[in-house]
Amino acid sequence: MAATEFGRAVRRWRDRLSPEAAGLPEGSHRRAAGLRREELSSLAGISVDYVTRLEQGRASNPSSQVVEALARALRLSAAEREHLFRLAELVPPGAAMVPAHVTPSVQRMLDRLAGTPVAVFDACWTLLVANQEYAALMGDPTGVRGNERNGVWRTFVSGGSRARQSPEELDALKVAQVADLRAAAARYPADGQLQRLVGELRAHSERFAELWEAGAVGRHVAARKTIEHPRVGDVTLDCDVMTVAGSDLRIMIYTAEPGTEDAERLALLTVLGTQALSSRD
Protein backbone atom coordinates (compact mmCIF):
# COMPACT_ATOMS: atom_id res chain seq x y z
CA MET A 1 0.00 0.00 0.00
CA ALA A 2 2.82 2.42 0.87
CA ALA A 3 4.49 1.89 -2.50
CA THR A 4 1.18 2.44 -4.28
CA GLU A 5 0.46 5.67 -2.40
CA PHE A 6 4.01 6.90 -3.03
CA GLY A 7 3.61 6.26 -6.76
CA ARG A 8 0.22 7.97 -6.87
CA ALA A 9 1.67 11.04 -5.18
CA VAL A 10 4.58 11.23 -7.63
CA ARG A 11 2.21 10.86 -10.59
CA ARG A 12 -0.19 13.47 -9.21
CA TRP A 13 2.57 16.02 -8.68
CA ARG A 14 4.11 15.21 -12.07
CA ASP A 15 0.76 15.85 -13.75
CA ARG A 16 0.35 19.25 -12.12
CA LEU A 17 3.86 20.55 -12.98
CA SER A 18 4.06 22.20 -16.38
CA PRO A 19 7.28 22.07 -18.42
CA GLU A 20 7.53 25.85 -18.20
CA ALA A 21 7.31 25.74 -14.39
CA ALA A 22 10.05 23.09 -14.39
CA GLY A 23 12.32 25.25 -16.57
CA LEU A 24 11.81 23.11 -19.68
CA PRO A 25 10.64 24.07 -23.18
CA GLU A 26 6.93 23.33 -23.55
CA GLY A 27 7.24 21.80 -27.02
CA SER A 28 4.27 20.60 -29.03
CA HIS A 29 1.98 17.60 -29.40
CA ARG A 30 1.55 17.18 -25.65
CA ARG A 31 -1.45 15.17 -24.54
CA ALA A 32 -1.30 16.54 -21.00
CA ALA A 33 -0.17 19.74 -19.34
CA GLY A 34 2.18 18.03 -16.90
CA LEU A 35 5.65 16.57 -17.23
CA ARG A 36 6.39 13.40 -19.15
CA ARG A 37 8.10 10.60 -17.27
CA GLU A 38 11.19 11.14 -19.40
CA GLU A 39 11.30 14.78 -18.32
CA LEU A 40 10.95 13.93 -14.64
CA SER A 41 13.65 11.29 -15.07
CA SER A 42 16.03 13.85 -16.55
CA LEU A 43 15.31 16.47 -13.89
CA ALA A 44 15.72 14.01 -11.01
CA GLY A 45 18.70 12.15 -12.45
CA ILE A 46 17.11 8.71 -12.17
CA SER A 47 16.14 6.26 -14.90
CA VAL A 48 12.81 6.36 -16.71
CA ASP A 49 12.29 2.70 -15.87
CA TYR A 50 12.68 3.42 -12.15
CA VAL A 51 10.26 6.36 -12.32
CA THR A 52 7.76 4.08 -14.07
CA ARG A 53 8.11 1.33 -11.49
CA LEU A 54 7.77 3.82 -8.62
CA GLU A 55 4.61 5.32 -10.09
CA GLN A 56 3.09 1.92 -10.71
CA GLY A 57 3.88 0.69 -7.19
CA ARG A 58 6.25 -1.97 -8.49
CA ALA A 59 9.29 -0.50 -6.72
CA SER A 60 9.45 -0.04 -2.98
CA ASN A 61 11.84 1.45 -0.43
CA PRO A 62 13.34 4.29 -2.49
CA SER A 63 16.40 5.80 -0.86
CA SER A 64 16.38 9.21 0.77
CA GLN A 65 18.54 10.46 -2.12
CA VAL A 66 15.91 9.37 -4.64
CA VAL A 67 13.09 10.94 -2.63
CA GLU A 68 15.07 14.18 -2.29
CA ALA A 69 15.78 14.24 -6.03
CA LEU A 70 12.11 13.68 -6.88
CA ALA A 71 10.99 16.37 -4.42
CA ARG A 72 13.44 18.81 -5.97
CA ALA A 73 12.46 17.96 -9.55
CA LEU A 74 8.74 18.19 -8.76
CA ARG A 75 9.19 21.59 -7.03
CA LEU A 76 7.51 20.36 -3.86
CA SER A 77 6.87 22.64 -0.92
CA ALA A 78 8.42 21.80 2.45
CA ALA A 79 5.18 20.16 3.62
CA GLU A 80 4.81 18.14 0.41
CA ARG A 81 8.44 17.03 0.58
CA GLU A 82 7.93 15.84 4.15
CA HIS A 83 4.80 13.94 3.06
CA LEU A 84 6.73 12.23 0.25
CA PHE A 85 9.38 11.09 2.73
CA ARG A 86 6.65 9.70 4.98
CA LEU A 87 5.07 7.82 2.07
CA ALA A 88 8.49 6.28 1.37
CA GLU A 89 8.54 5.20 5.04
CA LEU A 90 11.55 7.41 5.68
CA VAL A 91 12.11 9.97 8.40
CA PRO A 92 12.24 13.43 6.80
CA PRO A 93 15.57 15.19 7.39
CA GLY A 94 15.15 17.38 10.44
CA ALA A 95 16.75 20.54 11.74
CA ALA A 96 19.76 18.56 12.96
CA MET A 97 20.57 17.44 9.41
CA VAL A 98 22.34 19.44 6.70
CA PRO A 99 19.52 20.95 4.57
CA ALA A 100 19.38 19.55 1.05
CA HIS A 101 16.01 20.92 -0.05
CA VAL A 102 16.22 23.35 -2.96
CA THR A 103 13.12 25.45 -2.46
CA PRO A 104 10.85 26.27 -5.41
CA SER A 105 11.86 29.95 -5.12
CA VAL A 106 15.56 29.11 -5.45
CA GLN A 107 14.79 26.79 -8.36
CA ARG A 108 12.83 29.57 -10.10
CA MET A 109 15.81 31.88 -9.69
CA LEU A 110 18.00 29.29 -11.43
CA ASP A 111 15.47 29.02 -14.24
CA ARG A 112 15.57 32.77 -14.80
CA LEU A 113 19.36 32.98 -14.97
CA ALA A 114 19.44 31.63 -18.51
CA GLY A 115 22.88 31.92 -20.07
CA THR A 116 24.60 32.13 -16.67
CA PRO A 117 26.39 29.15 -15.08
CA VAL A 118 24.80 28.55 -11.68
CA ALA A 119 25.04 25.70 -9.18
CA VAL A 120 23.54 25.13 -5.73
CA PHE A 121 25.50 23.41 -2.95
CA ASP A 122 24.57 22.47 0.59
CA ALA A 123 26.44 23.64 3.69
CA CYS A 124 29.01 20.84 3.21
CA TRP A 125 29.69 21.87 -0.40
CA THR A 126 27.90 18.88 -1.88
CA LEU A 127 26.43 19.73 -5.27
CA LEU A 128 22.63 19.58 -5.22
CA VAL A 129 21.66 20.98 -8.59
CA ALA A 130 23.34 22.75 -11.51
CA ASN A 131 21.92 24.31 -14.65
CA GLN A 132 23.01 23.34 -18.14
CA GLU A 133 25.25 26.39 -18.43
CA TYR A 134 27.20 25.31 -15.35
CA ALA A 135 27.47 21.79 -16.77
CA ALA A 136 28.77 23.22 -20.04
CA LEU A 137 31.38 25.28 -18.20
CA MET A 138 32.58 22.88 -15.49
CA GLY A 139 31.61 19.47 -16.88
CA ASP A 140 28.35 17.53 -16.72
CA PRO A 141 27.74 16.33 -13.12
CA THR A 142 24.72 14.15 -13.98
CA GLY A 143 26.48 10.82 -13.53
CA VAL A 144 28.62 11.88 -10.57
CA ARG A 145 27.75 10.10 -7.33
CA GLY A 146 28.84 9.90 -3.70
CA ASN A 147 31.82 11.87 -2.43
CA GLU A 148 32.66 12.98 -5.97
CA ARG A 149 29.71 15.40 -5.77
CA ASN A 150 31.35 17.12 -2.82
CA GLY A 151 33.55 20.12 -3.55
CA VAL A 152 35.77 19.61 -0.49
CA TRP A 153 36.45 15.99 -1.48
CA ARG A 154 37.31 17.02 -5.01
CA THR A 155 39.70 19.73 -3.76
CA PHE A 156 41.57 17.53 -1.30
CA VAL A 157 41.29 14.02 -2.73
CA SER A 158 40.24 13.57 -6.32
CA GLY A 159 40.95 16.91 -7.98
CA GLY A 160 39.71 17.25 -11.54
CA SER A 161 38.46 20.83 -11.46
CA ARG A 162 38.75 22.88 -14.64
CA ALA A 163 39.65 25.96 -12.58
CA ARG A 164 43.34 26.91 -12.80
CA GLN A 165 44.75 28.06 -9.46
CA SER A 166 48.12 29.09 -8.14
CA PRO A 167 49.45 27.15 -5.12
CA GLU A 168 48.56 30.13 -2.91
CA GLU A 169 45.02 30.32 -4.28
CA LEU A 170 44.53 26.58 -3.87
CA ASP A 171 45.70 26.63 -0.27
CA ALA A 172 43.42 29.57 0.55
CA LEU A 173 40.52 27.60 -0.94
CA LYS A 174 41.42 24.57 1.17
CA VAL A 175 41.53 26.66 4.35
CA ALA A 176 38.14 28.20 3.54
CA GLN A 177 36.55 24.83 2.76
CA VAL A 178 37.80 23.23 5.97
CA ALA A 179 36.51 26.22 7.94
CA ASP A 180 33.11 25.88 6.23
CA LEU A 181 32.98 22.17 6.98
CA ARG A 182 33.92 22.71 10.63
CA ALA A 183 31.16 25.29 10.96
CA ALA A 184 28.66 22.90 9.35
CA ALA A 185 29.73 20.10 11.69
CA ALA A 186 29.09 22.40 14.65
CA ARG A 187 25.63 23.36 13.36
CA TYR A 188 24.60 19.80 12.45
CA PRO A 189 26.31 17.48 14.98
CA ALA A 190 23.74 14.70 14.47
CA ASP A 191 24.26 14.41 10.72
CA GLY A 192 25.88 11.02 10.22
CA GLN A 193 26.62 11.59 6.54
CA LEU A 194 28.58 14.74 7.39
CA GLN A 195 30.50 12.87 10.08
CA ARG A 196 31.39 10.13 7.60
CA LEU A 197 32.56 12.70 5.06
CA VAL A 198 34.87 14.34 7.60
CA GLY A 199 36.24 10.96 8.67
CA GLU A 200 36.95 9.90 5.10
CA LEU A 201 38.59 13.24 4.29
CA ARG A 202 40.86 12.93 7.32
CA ALA A 203 41.78 9.39 6.28
CA HIS A 204 42.52 10.25 2.65
CA SER A 205 44.16 13.69 2.91
CA GLU A 206 47.00 14.61 5.25
CA ARG A 207 46.51 18.30 4.44
CA PHE A 208 42.81 18.14 5.35
CA ALA A 209 43.61 16.35 8.63
CA GLU A 210 46.28 18.97 9.42
CA LEU A 211 43.92 21.88 8.77
CA TRP A 212 41.08 20.20 10.63
CA GLU A 213 43.20 19.60 13.74
CA ALA A 214 44.56 23.16 13.57
CA GLY A 215 41.04 24.63 13.56
CA ALA A 216 41.52 26.42 10.25
CA VAL A 217 39.68 29.73 9.96
CA GLY A 218 38.81 31.22 6.59
CA ARG A 219 35.91 32.20 4.39
CA HIS A 220 34.89 32.14 0.77
CA VAL A 221 35.12 35.47 -0.99
CA ALA A 222 34.33 36.65 -4.50
CA ALA A 223 37.13 35.66 -6.84
CA ARG A 224 38.21 35.65 -10.45
CA LYS A 225 38.78 32.17 -11.82
CA THR A 226 40.32 31.00 -15.04
CA ILE A 227 38.53 27.94 -16.37
CA GLU A 228 40.50 25.72 -18.74
CA HIS A 229 37.73 24.67 -21.10
CA PRO A 230 38.46 21.82 -23.55
CA ARG A 231 36.49 23.39 -26.41
CA VAL A 232 36.92 27.17 -26.23
CA GLY A 233 40.17 27.55 -24.28
CA ASP A 234 40.77 29.63 -21.16
CA VAL A 235 37.85 31.68 -19.85
CA THR A 236 38.39 34.10 -16.94
CA LEU A 237 35.20 34.73 -14.97
CA ASP A 238 33.99 36.31 -11.76
CA CYS A 239 32.80 33.70 -9.27
CA ASP A 240 30.40 34.85 -6.56
CA VAL A 241 28.92 32.72 -3.79
CA MET A 242 25.68 33.68 -2.05
CA THR A 243 24.12 32.01 0.98
CA VAL A 244 20.35 31.53 1.10
CA ALA A 245 19.05 32.72 4.47
CA GLY A 246 17.13 30.06 6.36
CA SER A 247 18.21 27.12 4.23
CA ASP A 248 22.02 27.22 4.44
CA LEU A 249 22.34 26.70 0.69
CA ARG A 250 25.24 28.15 -1.30
CA ILE A 251 24.58 29.50 -4.77
CA MET A 252 27.65 29.77 -7.00
CA ILE A 253 27.37 32.07 -10.01
CA TYR A 254 29.90 32.62 -12.81
CA THR A 255 29.72 35.81 -14.88
CA ALA A 256 31.89 37.66 -17.40
CA GLU A 257 32.29 41.37 -17.94
CA PRO A 258 30.09 42.36 -20.91
CA GLY A 259 31.86 43.12 -24.18
CA THR A 260 35.00 41.16 -23.34
CA GLU A 261 36.53 38.16 -25.08
CA ASP A 262 35.74 36.12 -21.98
CA ALA A 263 32.05 37.03 -22.36
CA GLU A 264 32.14 35.85 -25.97
CA ARG A 265 33.80 32.58 -25.01
CA LEU A 266 31.32 32.03 -22.21
CA ALA A 267 28.43 32.57 -24.61
CA LEU A 268 29.98 30.19 -27.13
CA LEU A 269 30.70 27.37 -24.70
CA THR A 270 27.22 27.76 -23.22
CA VAL A 271 25.63 27.27 -26.64
CA LEU A 272 27.92 24.37 -27.56
CA GLY A 273 27.58 22.70 -24.19
CA THR A 274 23.82 23.01 -23.78
CA GLN A 275 23.27 21.77 -27.34
CA ALA A 276 25.37 18.69 -26.55
CA LEU A 277 23.52 18.06 -23.27
CA SER A 278 20.12 18.52 -24.91
CA SER A 279 20.94 16.17 -27.79
CA ARG A 280 22.21 13.57 -25.31
CA ASP A 281 18.98 13.75 -23.32
Could you tell me if residue 36 is inside a domain? yes
Neighbours of 172 (CB within 10 A): 16
What is the mean predicted confidence (pLDDT) over 216-236?
86
Per the structure, the complete domain to which residue 137 belongs is given by 104-280
Residues 48 and 177 in one domain: no
| pLDDT of residue 242 exceeding 70 | yes
Residues 57 and 122 in one domain: no
Could you tell me if residue 51 is inside a domain? yes
| pLDDT of residue 1 exceeding 70 | no
Residues 267 and 183 in one domain: yes
Could you tell me if residue 97 is inside a domain? no
| pLDDT of residue 222 exceeding 90 | no
| pLDDT of residue 281 exceeding 70 | no
The residue ranking higher by pLDDT, 276 or 162, is 162
Which pLDDT band holds residue 279 (cuts at 50, 70, 90)?
low
Q: Is-contact 121 102, C-beta < 8 A?
A: no
Residues 176 and 231 in one domain: yes
| 159: nearest Cα among 198, 124, 207, 193 | 207
Identify the pLDDT of residue 277: 54
Q: What dihedral angle (degrees, nearest 10) is formed by the CA atoms of 72, 97, 122, 63?
A: -40
Q: What are phi and psi of 144, to 5 degrees?
A: -85, 130
Residues 68 and 161 in one domain: no
Identify the pLDDT of residue 247: 84
Secondary structure (3-state) at 121: strand
Residues 33 and 109 in one domain: no
pLDDT in tens, 9-63: 999 999 999 888 887 776 656 777 799 999 999 888 889 999 999 999 998 889 9
**Can you give the CATH number for the domain in which 59 is found?**
1.10.260.40
pTM above 0.85, yes or no: no
Residues 193 and 256 in one domain: yes
CA distance 143 to 260: 33
Residues 137 and 237 in one domain: yes
Identify the pLDDT of residue 145: 85
Give me the percent of the chain exceeding a pLDDT of 70.
Answer: 93
CA distance 181 to 122: 11
Could you tell me if residue 123 is inside a domain? yes
| pLDDT of residue 260 exceeding 70 | yes
Could you tell me if residue 234 is inside a domain? yes
pLDDT in tens, 134-150: 999 999 888 788 899 99
Which pLDDT band holds residue 278 (cuts at 50, 70, 90)?
low
| pLDDT of residue 183 exceeding 60 | yes
Could you tell me if residue 94 is inside a domain? no
Domain count of the fold of the chain: 2
Could you tell me if residue 98 is inside a domain? no
pLDDT in tens, 77-115: 888 998 999 999 887 877 678 988 888 888 888 888 888
- Among 87, 122, 141, give the residue marking a domain's end: 87
Q: Is-contact 148 154, C-beta < 8 A?
A: yes
- Among 61, 87, 113, give the residue marking a domain's end: 87
Residues 82 and 116 in one domain: no
Residues 118 and 214 in one domain: yes
Residues 68 and 150 in one domain: no
**Can you give the CATH number for the domain in which 205 is found?**
3.30.450
Residues 29 and 76 in one domain: yes
pLDDT in tens, 185-194: 988 988 999 9
Could you tell me if residue 248 is inside a domain? yes
- Among 87, 113, 145, give the residue marking a domain's end: 87
